[in-house]
Amino acid sequence: MKEFLYTTRVYFSDTDAVGIVYHASYIDWAEHARTEMLREMISKPQSELAEGEDGILILVRSIRIDYQRPGYLDDLITVHTSIEEMKRLSCTVRQKIMRGDEVLADLKVGLAFVSAGAKRPAMIPDFIKQAYEES
């Protein structure tokens, strides 16, 4: 799968009192990037994917973050996202949050697919697998 890029700016609300990015902001940016990647790939929002008894929820089951450099107020950052591994019920996503060529944070995110109706693990729908493979 190709790499999906999501670019944003570091705002005051993303930082601590001295203008350094607060650690939880990286998780927010990673979530935004995964959401926009999915929206681009399957042409529908997660809310529509989750509708009805046959709906699918995509939940974070694990996350590992290696903070490498601090980000600062007004930085322009890009989240590089790619699917590292796809299984029957879950997938692993690799995300690098970068300022230009500098890696600020390196994330490995485990995602679980869950039935919206039954709230139990569910197979990844074929149309999502196909979209990942074609991207």
In this predicted model, what pLDDT tens digit does every residue of 91-107 receive, in sequence order? 999 999 999 999 999 99
Sorted by where each starts, the structural domains of the chain and their CATH numbers stand as: 4-134 (3.10.129.10)
Contacts of 4 (CB under 8 A, 6+ apart): 33, 36, 37, 40, 80, 81, 82, 135
Q: Which of 7-16, 37-46, 70-79 has the lowest mean pLDDT?
A: 37-46
Residues 6+ apart with CB under 8 A from 63: 27, 30, 107, 108, 109, 110
Find the range with the poorest average confidence among 1-10, 21-30, 48-57, 67-76: 48-57
Catalytic residue status for 126? no
User: Per the residue annotation, which of 14, 16, 106, 126 is the catalytic one?
Assistant: 16
- pTM comes to 0.92
With bands split at pLDDT 50, 70 and 90, how would you rate the model's confidence at 60? Answer: very high
Is pLDDT at 8 greater than 70 in this prediction?
A: yes
Query: What is the reported pLDDT for 135?
Result: 66
